[in-house]
Structure 1
């Protein structure tokens, strides 16, 4: 939608492109061409029964960028989509992308290992996996309130739940497993364009010290902005501030960072 300098919005795990609707409407009004798509198994895309890994998803991004001939892109990625962007840079050298905004990123590596002591204990990460596989609606309900902030309307929460319920269970389960097990430290180091990392200090899904702060430290030209009191769903709960920060970042001239 729209015209002008292009922005590609990528949604997080179990969320379709509709998640970015409020931001896209605002940036069209600012004179930008806004694009998004539903990853395989999400939203209106089909469930091919395969390809729920980050290599394939990065290749899917490449297919969209190539098909549309996109250049000079700013990519805005939420949560798991930061993983896809990082892998896109390592597999496709970031072709077509001029800037990156990572919001609530769950990179670089969630699982605690001997060489990743900052990660989260595997037993903690696995605690909800049985519920995810056996009662996905209950898993979503249990994790809805932490995704938002006090005062978020019930209607907004219900909208978020409906979007997540539109995801293939196979995609949700296999991607959740891949998100935990995949190390993106080397991929993040390949992001050579300016990057803005935005993270909430009340993000339960992606604790700031484990994810956002480390992500910014690994990208050669990155700046971290921390939103006090913001949760994982900050693109919805802090939409106006996020839009202002993205717009300011895009307006920066080389050498201003």
Structure 2
């Protein structure tokens, strides 16, 4: 397996295929780089170099019990990009991975980055606070933690329904997609997954978004039941310096899987034409 070792000894697994301009994919919670399989094959065939890592505590990376926070995730991503000496890279982040990309750019700058993409992403902040009245109450995230700490296998199976919009009337349910999500989730470490709930829900990315100085595409389904669009994409687009906002009517949080052809085509068009 291809891995790098971070300063604290954590092994980060990654896939690195092809040549050309690099596209780096950061996955959502509690998944792995395999969640990007469709996008990686698509862009590989379009002549891009595609890279996806498993966040610490997720997938095939070390099952860490410390460092499960956004600063460390961003530093791990920086270590990967530096180890591979990536230049002019396009960073694509989904959900928690969108927070990782935002914090990476806010913390390490854009010297190695040409563009960024936030898909169904958690910034600016998911938690409801006095300054963020449109966020979700802490009870929602306490419930996720309880599910992870209790019957994680059952909880991960159940959450795929709203994740992909399969709980909507008339939804075309793919059991394969649901099982793929479950398998990725169960590969990771329970302690890291538990800690990551705080990281993706309570981290405030406002200042990170303001620092991002490369063109940034914000893609979000307006029927996203996991990261509601009103408190995420709509606010992020106002904070970014060079935003392009694309809203997908009726699409769910997991639209990269349920509507991959549409997402891939739009992402390619924006990369090529701006």
Residue 66 of structure 1: aligned partner: 82
- SS of 1:127's partner is helix
Residue 240 of structure 1: aligned partner: 261
Residue 163 of structure 2: aligned partner: 147
- SS of 1:209's partner is helix
Q: Deviations over 1:53-76 (max 9, x none)?
A: 111110001101101110011111
What do you get for the CA RMSD once the two structures are aligned? 1.2
Contact 1:58 1:84 in 2 (8 A): yes
Contact 1:152 1:237 in 2 (8 A): no
State the alpha-carbon separation in 2 of the partners of residues 88 and 215 from structure 1.
16
The size of the alignment, in residue pairs, is 253
State the alpha-carbon separation in 2 of the partners of residues 125 and 110 from structure 1.
10
148, 167, 180: which is aligned to 1:132? Answer: 148
Shift of 1:129: 2.4
- SS of 1:128's partner is helix
Residue 209 of structure 2: aligned partner: 188
Residue 202 of structure 1: aligned partner: 223
State the alpha-carbon separation in 1 of the partners of residues 173 and 112 from structure 2.
36
TM-score, structure 2 as length reference: 0.89
State the alpha-carbon separation in 1 of the partners of residues 69 and 173 from structure 2.
33
TM-score, structure 1 as length reference: 0.95
Counterparts of 1:7-18 in structure 2, within 5 Å, are: 7-18=23-34
State the alpha-carbon separation in 2 of the partners of residues 230 and 127 from structure 1.
24
- SS of 2:147's partner is helix
Unpaired stretches in structure 1, ≥5 consecutive residues: none
